[in-house]
Amino acid sequence: MNGDTAASLTTPPTCSTTATSTSSVGSYPTSCSGAVDSNYTFTYVNGSVQVNPAPLTIAAFVGLDDLRRGDTGDPAMYTGFVNGDSSTSLTTAPTCSTAASSASPVGTYVSSCSGAVDSNYIISYVNGSVLVNTAPLSIAASSDSMTYGGSVPTITPRTRAS
């Protein structure tokens, strides 16, 4: 009034909220109090701070070596966790899979994740891929013996997977 601003008050109000940087998704009250100025009668109206979910991206990276070992480790990479959260903080962990198996021929196979749940995050997914490379195979010529002046033995290949 009369050109006054918040800076014109004798004592400006102090305002606060119960929300913190580690607050879970939800609504938190805000309030102000303590303003002083002889020209005004103060009425305080509470407000709120809405904490919204943070974005979280889950990218699949199941590897064939993991499949061969029967590894049950986390088959995903995460981008976006905040406040010290990790994959173990999720309400429901994602399920990740690939069409590749330990018997798949050489090639590239899609891997994907889905099903993660946590109210503090808006979850999106990025497909990955599993590259099945050639397996090493050693071919050794057979060893044999013969008698001087005798017939040469048939030399055969012996294979051994590495």
Q: What's the average model confidence in pLDDT over 3-14?
A: 90
What is the reported pLDDT for 22?
A: 94
Cα–Cα distance between 55 and 91 in angstroms, integer?
15
User: How many other C-beta atoms lie within 10 A of the C-beta of residue 60?
Assistant: 22
Give 34's pLDDT tier (boundaries 50, 70, 90): very high
Average pLDDT, the chain: 88
Q: What's the average model confidence in pLDDT over 48-70?
A: 78
Cα–Cα distance between 149 and 155 in angstroms, integer?
17
Count, in order, helices (H) and strands (E) of the chain: 1, 11
- CA proximity to 76, closest of 57, 90, 91, 89: 57
Q: How far is CA 125 from the centre of its chain?
A: 9
- CA proximity to 116, closest of 126, 108, 129: 126
CB 142 within 8 A of CB 157: yes
- CA proximity to 36, closest of 15, 53, 16, 12: 12
Q: What's the average model confidence in pLDDT over 82-91?
A: 95
Give 62's pLDDT tier (boundaries 50, 70, 90): low
For the chain, give every domain's residue range: 6-51, 54-132
Q: What's the average model confidence in pLDDT over 58-63?
A: 78
